[in-house]
Amino acid sequence: MPKLTRIVPAILTDDPSTLESMIRQAENFTDYVQMDIMDGQFVPSRSITWEHLSHIPTKLSWEAHLMVLRPEEYLDGFHQAGARKVLFHHEATPSPREVIARARALGLGVGLAINPETAVSAILPLVDEVDSILLMSVNPGFYGSRFIPEVMDKVEELRRARPEMEIGIDGGVKEANIVQVARAGVDVIYVGSAIFLQPKPAESFHRLQTLVQES
């Protein structure tokens, strides 16, 4: 029986009060979210920090998508704040194995993300050392960026190389293309603006989930 594709809501904001509002919204329709973390260096924008997250109690389980330089410097903070998993960018560090080892030492799950211009071949030596691969289908850093369809070719390439690897895709996914993305064989689809920037986020989430299930 094929695995069902999961939708994980992605929370992105630079405002602590908006963060809490988005968390409370998400608690009404899911039990797991991704927190998008940006440093203004690896990507142009900045977002909330682990300190903000540590001050908001929630029943949600969550992972941190670290769009930051020197991700190893963020691991202790996000572990302290309650993250279950961290995803860091291959392009953000010269020593990805050190990041993986440090995260493992803290008991964190680890995912490796790559930007649209990075080839799958660049990360194949690391794939067996992480729990998942995240393929960015936009240039990271902003809600609502345009989907880059060529990234779908990477899903097929990675699936051939590692049939059992958990593959996620993040960026620009909405009602108009989510069926295409799900049929490409991804395990996880991260969705931000198509949920949280809609008038009724819970309804948007369930509508996307239905489209994926019917695909």
Q: State how far the Cα of 175 lies from the Cα of 17, in Å rounded to an integer.
A: 28
Residue 150 domain-assigned (yes or no) = yes
Mean pLDDT of the region 41-45: 94
The answer to whether 191 and 137 have CB atoms below 8 angstroms apart is: no
pLDDT in tens, 118-174: 999 999 999 999 999 999 999 887 766 789 999 999 999 999 999 999 999 999 999
Average pLDDT, the chain: 95
Residue 44 domain-assigned (yes or no) = yes
pLDDT, position 166: 97
**Would the pLDDT of 35 be above 60?**
yes
200 is written with which tokens? 């009724």
Mean pLDDT of the region 25-34: 98
pLDDT in tens, 177-199: 999 999 999 999 999 999 999 99
Q: Which is nearest to 35 in space by CA: 63, 6, 72?
A: 63
Q: How confident is residue 2, by pLDDT bands cut at 50, 70 and 90?
A: low
Q: How many domains does the chain have?
A: 1
Question: DSSP letter string over the chain?
Answer: -PPPPEEEEEE--S-HHHHHHHHHHHHTT-SEEEEEEEBSSSSS-B---HHHHHTS--S-EEEEEEESSSGGGTHHHHHHHT-SEEEEEGGG-S-HHHHHHHHHHTT-EEEEEE-TTS-GGGTGGGGGGSSEEEEESS-SS-TTPPP-GGGHHHHHHHHHH-TTSEEEEESS--TTTHHHHHHTT-SEEEESHHHHTSSSHHHHHHHHHHHHHH-
pLDDT, position 215: 79
Residues with Cβ within 8 Å of residue 71, at least 6 apart in sequence: 86, 88, 89, 92, 93, 99
Q: Is 107 exposed, middle or buried (0-12, 13-18, 19+ CB in 10 A)?
A: exposed
Residue 208 domain-assigned (yes or no) = yes
Q: State how far the Cα of 188 lies from the Cα of 88, in Å rounded to an integer.
A: 16
Residue 1 domain-assigned (yes or no) = no
Active site residues per annotation: 36, 170
pLDDT, position 1: 40
Q: State how far the Cα of 81 lies from the Cα of 63, in Å rounded to an integer.
A: 11
Mean pLDDT of the region 46-59: 96
Q: Domain range for residue 146? A: 6-214
CATH at residue 157:
3.20.20.70
79 is written with which tokens? 């572990």
Q: State how far the Cα of 68 lies from the Cα of 70, in Å rounded to an integer.
A: 6
